Chain A
Amino acid sequence: MMRYYKFIILTIVLSISIVNLFAQEEDLLSLVGEDNKPQKEFVNYSFKSSRVIMSHSMELIRPGVMDLRILHRFGNINKGAYEFFGLDNATMRLGFDFGLTKNLMAGFGRSTNKKELDAFAKYRLIHQSKGPKSLPFSLLVTGGASLTTLKNTDTTQKNYFSSRMGYYGQIIIGSKISESFSLQFMPTVVHRNLVPTADDPNDLLAVGIGTRLKLSNRISLNVDYYYRLNQNVNDGTQNPLSIGFDIETGGHVFQLHFTNAVGMNEKVFLLETTNNWGKGDIQFGFNISRSFQIKKKKS
């Protein structure tokens, strides 16, 4: 009996000391609960910039950052060597975007096409996240207005100031599905106060699709397309499609692309795109985005 008792105690002592010895070998960090709870984490960097190519992306610029955007669209490539494949003609838009809060940005710009001014605000309602209580997509709303400042040439009609105005509203639902692939849909409505003919709708509905495929850390392939639902089928306009590359170099993002859309704001590229990809009426274009930190972070 006595022997058994000794034996049991010895076994207990030995096993405890062995456990303790093993404990010393274990990861010190595990003692303080490292890795214990997965935390909710927001998903960022779904697109390299706040635009897919022509459309707003599900990404916002950060608060305190100003983004100077210079957009160029050249003439049609199929004009041949005499027009230097379209490079002889260019229209542009110069714009400034501002990150106001984590979920709000706003910007304005001016296009040479129709001497048009435009402004917008974009707000994020849902931010895609990972971990507990997360949502796998982002939801944003965008609203904008545009104003052409071309002189009136038509004297046979009364020209109202409101005729110069156009508006758009857009919902962006998007997801960074993997590190390299992001996809978003953009149901959009464009309103113009003055339409060219009675057959043209004042309110145009369209659904856009924008996507990015990362080819490397600094280069991605982007596609941006809209399908219009109720356009005047006889006006000869086309659905806008842009395909291009985002190339990031330090503080700049270059977006080099091919497109059939001349316009650089929502109203123009949705309603006034007459070039046809099928006929080769495509243009080369580029956007340059340069970020400036105008308000430094508190540290």
Chain B
Amino acid sequence: MKKGILLLAISFVLATTLSAQEKYFTKTGKINFISKAQIENIEALNRSVTAVLDTKTGNLQFAVLMKGFEFEKALMQEHFNENYVESHKYPKSDFKGAVVNNADINYSKDGTYKAKVKGMLTIHGETKPVETEGTIQVKGGKLITDAVFGVSLADYNIEIPKIVKDNIAKMVNIEVECTLDPLK
């Protein structure tokens, strides 16, 4: 009786701690954003995106430092930080959500799976729901995720002055690409 309870207790504890190994993460994910406007296209890349996916629950989170976006032109980078996203006031953007169809994805079998993701995206201090469909590729114990979605700058309270309205798109495309390693 005594042993039975003890065993039960140990297995319970082990089971719950083991579940931690079902999490995958990266600190070097990429986010690329593209604004296609009449006069010019503006692109920026951030290579230090942090992401964690809990394959058990499907919970998914991203975080990115706004100052880490690199632009082709130095002036664009200055305006991005100083005038548009105000990175001194809102240094970080994040996403908290989940893979909706998590049950359909077999994380232990190599292959490419469609993933529906839904959650809350915070940029410039504003939080708005987003939803998109991307892919999760299971390959040799790693997960490669890829998703593209559009955000409206007005939704996040990012004002575009009239004088540059032909330079900056109202909707920008955001591509998130991560290779997740098991979290130990």
- A12 in contact with B9 (CB, 8 Å): yes
Measured CB to CB, the nearest residue on chain B to A41 is B67
B12 and A9: CB pair below 8 A? no
**Most-contacted residue by chain A among B17, B52, B53 (CB, 10 A):** B52
Report yes or no: A9 in contact with B6, Cβ–Cβ below 8 A.
yes
B16 A20 Cβ-Cβ under 8 A? yes
B175 sits at the interface (CB 8 A): no
Residues of A within 8 A of B61 (CB): 27-29
- Once the chains bind, are B94 and A29 in contact (CB under 8 Å)? yes
Whole-angstrom distance from the CB of A129 to the nearest CB of chain B?
Answer: 13
Nearest residue (CB) in A for B10 is A13
How many inter-chain residue pairs (CB < 8 Å) link A and B? 96
Given contacts A28-B59, A218-B83, A34 and B50 within 8 Å (CB-CB): yes
Q: Which residue of B17, B19, B54, B74 is within 8 Å of A62 (Cβ)?
A: B74
Pick the residue among A31, A64, A217, A249 that contacts B183 (CB under 8 A). Answer: A31
Interface SS majority for chain A: mixed
Chain A residues with CB under 8 Å of B83's CB are 217-218, 248
CA distance A160 to B56 in the complex (A): 85
**Is the C-beta of A287 less than 8 angstroms from some C-beta in chain B?**
no
Residue in B12, B53, B57, B161 whose beta carbon sits within 8 Å of that of A16 in the complex: B12
CB within 8 Å for A179 and B88 given contacts A29-B61, A31-B52: yes
Q: B154 within 8 Å of A by Cβ?
A: no
Complex: A62 Cα to B161 Cα, angstroms: 24
A101 within 8 Å of B (CB atoms): no
Pair B52/A250 contact, Cβ less than 8 Å: no
Please encode chain A, from 259 to 299, with 1 for each CB lying within 8 Å of some chain B CB and 0 for all others. Answer: 00000000000000000000000000000000101001101
Query: B75 near A65 (CB under 8 angstroms)?
Result: yes
Residue A5 at the B interface, CB < 8 A? Answer: yes
A32 CA / B114 CA spacing, docked (Å): 26
CB-CB under 8 A from A10, the residues of chain B are: 5
- Residues of chain B having any CB pair with chain A under 8 Å: 1-2, 5-6, 8-9, 12-13, 16-17, 19-20, 23, 25, 27, 45, 50, 52-54, 57, 59-61, 63, 67, 70-75, 78-79, 81-83, 86, 88-89, 94, 161, 163-164, 167, 183
> Can you give 27 A-B contacts (C-beta < 8 A)?
A2-B2, A5-B2, A10-B5, A12-B9, A13-B9, A13-B13, A16-B13, A20-B17, A28-B52, A28-B53, A28-B54, A28-B59, A28-B60, A29-B52, A31-B25, A34-B63, A41-B67, A45-B82, A65-B75, A217-B83, A218-B161, A249-B163, A293-B74, A296-B73, A297-B70, A297-B74, A299-B70
